[in-house]
């Protein structure tokens, strides 16, 4: 459920016509709905209200500091994967005690930054990383709270590029090695194991893989308890999918109920790291048709948003619904909707049925609030898009459009 709706035959972002936004801020343009972000966060967070839990929004999904502030004001913690994301989270006023740090390649300076900030815990992804955190904590006179990220070898049944919990993936530590590491943890005086972590992938549309992973993790937890190792936190990561096309992922409520029934009575504090399920359907990308072009085999709509703005279709073959901002009631036509970038892989949609369009018309690309702007680049020296946050009738420009000067700013001599 989101607040991008057609009224009076035109698309609105909450109370504001999208045409008004495009006129004032230009295109390509990311538009987020504050009401949708709040609704999604509440739906997710309240689904676990019977459990002692903390919802740590996954910053990588949409890391605009104003989005982080909004979610932080609702009580969200943050899941981070880099020093840059830590910087953003702290700047957004998130308490370090609500920050968990995942990622396979934490660099020494990033570990130092997180130790300095005194974050809640590191989700450790390798033996060498654990040794490094221990050494650095000792040198800095700190004790690092950690979880091991377990790789439970479960198939999440999602796109292979975003599967993270199978043995062949680079993420986490296999169960056997994890057992021996928890046993050895007492030799690491700079480390305090306080949790177990697991994140098996993104855009999961069924609950079975989550439950399969959870069962394995709970067995693991019982084993740790039998050795007398007291773990306080169970971090189950993110990964709950959304509807882009016809997927029917479980509603957060259903997801919450299932996990609650498995976890009730177990003395663990649950951490969740949702990203896409909070931000995905809270954003659209607005683009203008520059040209229409017919070739012997295709009808092309050449639009002003490209793979540098939204890479998901090019990278994963992902589907994003695309529709006219001002429907004209014209007959349908099959289009390839492509950007101006010099790559044949630069497309937002292929062979897509859409009402016939003309140059100058606006299109909205839906479900672009997560992994949209955060994965954008300057390829072909294209300034990155402007981001707006609409809240009722109020419009906040939360990132201005980049300028040509911005493109070269870091290349100029001091
Ligand atoms: C460690 C970790 N936590 C949380 C997430 C957020 O996942 P999603 O956006 O699918 O909820 C990711 C991304 O897949 C991740 O790598
Ligand atoms: N970037 C991916 C999700 C990756 C999640 C990060 N672990 C997407 O757009 O679907």
pLDDT at 84: 98
pLDDT per residue as tens digits for the range 303-335: 999 999 999 999 999 999 999 999 999 999 999
Confidence band for 413, pLDDT divided at 50, 70 and 90: confident
pLDDT per residue as tens digits for the range 196-245: 999 999 999 999 999 999 999 999 999 999 988 889 999 999 999 999 99
pLDDT at 108: 98
Q: Whose CA is nearest to atom 14 of ligand 1?
A: 202
Confidence band for 169, pLDDT divided at 50, 70 and 90: confident
How many whole angstroms from 149 Cα to the centroid of ligand 1? 13
Question: Which atom from ligand 1 is nearest to the alpha carbon of 61?
Answer: 9
How many whole angstroms from 303 Cα to the centroid of ligand 1? 30
Across 159-173, 178-192, 321-335, least confident range: 159-173
Say if residue 402's pLDDT is above 90.
yes
Annotated binding site for substrate: 276, 312, 316, 343, 371
How many whole angstroms from 400 Cα to the centroid of ligand 1? 27
In this structure, which long-range contacts are made by residues 185-189, counting pairs with CB atoms below 8 Å and at least 24 apart in sequence?
185/229, 188/130, 188/131, 188/134, 189/134, 189/138, 189/143
Q: In sequence order, what are the residues at sequence separation of 6 or more whose Cβ sits closer than 8 angstroms to the Cβ of residue 229?
A: 182, 185, 193
CB-based contact 32:366 (threshold 8 Å): no
pLDDT per residue as tens digits for the range 335-393: 999 999 999 999 999 999 999 999 999 999 999 999 999 999 999 999 999 999 999 99
pLDDT at 95: 98
> Which ligand is in closest contact with the Cα of 314?
2
pLDDT per residue as tens digits for the range 248-299: 999 999 999 999 999 999 999 999 999 999 999 999 999 999 999 999 999 9
Q: Return the best residue to mutate from 102, 199, 375 for the ligand 1 pocket (most ligand atoms within 8 A of CB).
A: 199
How many whole angstroms from 171 Cα to the centroid of ligand 1? 12
Structural domains of the chain, ranges and CATH numbers in brackets: 4-32+280-411 (2.40.37.10), 34-276 (3.20.20.10)
- Mean pLDDT, rounded, of the chain: 96
CA distance 237 to 305: 32
CB atoms within 10 A of CB 127: 15
Ligand 1 proximity of 102 Cβ (cutoff 6 Å)? yes
Determine whether 225 is an active site residue: no
Question: Which atom from ligand 1 is nearest to the alpha carbon of 277?
Answer: 11
Phi–psi pair at 318, nearest 5 degrees: -70, 150
> Which ligand is in closest contact with the Cα of 78?
1
Mean pLDDT of 80-88: 98
pLDDT at 1: 81
Q: Whose CA is nearest to atom 1 of ligand 2?
A: 371
Burial 391-407 (b: 16+ CB within 10 A, else e): beeebeebbebbeeeee
Q: In sequence order, what are the residues at sequence separation of 6 or more whose Cβ sits closer than 8 angstroms to the Cβ of residue 112?
A: 136, 140
How many whole angstroms from 317 Cα to the centroid of ligand 1? 19
**Closest to 48 measured CA to CA, from 270, 238, 276, 240:** 270
Mean pLDDT of 395-407: 98
pLDDT at 375: 98
pLDDT per residue as tens digits for the range 31-75: 999 999 999 999 999 999 999 999 999 999 999 999 999 999 999
Question: Which of 198, 225, 342, 386 is an active site residue?
Answer: 342
> Which ligand is in closest contact with the Cα of 62?
1
On whether the pTM is more than 0.80, the answer is yes
Pocket of ligand 2 from Cβ distances under 6 Å: 60, 162, 202-203, 312, 371, 375
């Amino acid at each position: 459920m989101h607040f991008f709706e057609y009224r009076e035959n035109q698309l609105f972002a909450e109370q504001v016509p999208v045409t008004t936004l495009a006129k004032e801020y230009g295109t390509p343009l990311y538009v987020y709905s504050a009401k949708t972000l709040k609704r999604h966060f509440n739906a997710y967070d309240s689904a676990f209200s019977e459990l002692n839990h903390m919802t740590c929004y996954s910053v990588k999904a949409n890391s605009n500091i104003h989005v982080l502030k909004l979610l932080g004001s609702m009580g969200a913690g943050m899941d981070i994967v880099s020093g840059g994301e830590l910087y953003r989270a702290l700047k957004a006023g998130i308490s370090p005690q609500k920050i968990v740090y995942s990622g396979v390649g934490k660099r020494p300076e990033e570990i130092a930054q997180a130790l300095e900030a005194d974050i809640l815990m590191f989700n450790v992804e390798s033996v060498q990383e654990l040794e490094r955190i221990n050494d650095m904590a000792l040198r800095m006179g700190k004790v690092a709270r950690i979880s091991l990220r377990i790789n439970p070898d479960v198939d999440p049944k999602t796109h292979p590029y975003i599967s993270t919990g199978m043995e062949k993936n680079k993420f986490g530590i296999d169960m056997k090695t994890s057992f021996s590491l928890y046993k050895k943890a007492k030799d690491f005086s700079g480390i305090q194991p306080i949790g177990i972590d697991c994140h098996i992938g993104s855009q999961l549309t069924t609950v079975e893989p989550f439950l399969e992973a959870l069962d394995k993790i709970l067995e693991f937890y019982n084993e740790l308890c039998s050795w007398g190792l007291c773990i306080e936190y169970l971090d189950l990561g993110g990964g709950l999918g959304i509807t882009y096309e016809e997927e029917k992922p479980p509603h957060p409520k259903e997801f919450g109920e299932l996990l609650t029934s498995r976890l009730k009575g177990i003395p663990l504090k649950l951490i969740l790291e949702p990203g896409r399920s909070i931000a995905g359907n809270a954003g659209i990308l607005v683009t203008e048709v520059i040209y229409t072009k017919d070739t012997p085999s295709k009808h092309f709509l050449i639009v002003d948003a490209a793979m540098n703005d939204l890479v998901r279709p090019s990278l994963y073959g992902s589907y994003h619904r695309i529709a006219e901002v001002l429907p004209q009631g014209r007959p349908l036509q099959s289009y390839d909707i492509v950007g101006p970038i010099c790559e044949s892989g630069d497309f937002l949609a292929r062979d897509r049925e859409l009402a016939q369009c003309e140059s100058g018309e606006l299109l909205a690309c839906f479900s672009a609030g997560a992994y949209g702007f955060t994965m954008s680049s300057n390829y072909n020296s294209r300034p990155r898009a402007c981001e707006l946050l609409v809240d009722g009738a109020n419009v906040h420009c939360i990132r201005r459009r980049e300028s040509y000067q911005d493109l070269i700013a870091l290349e100029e001599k001091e």
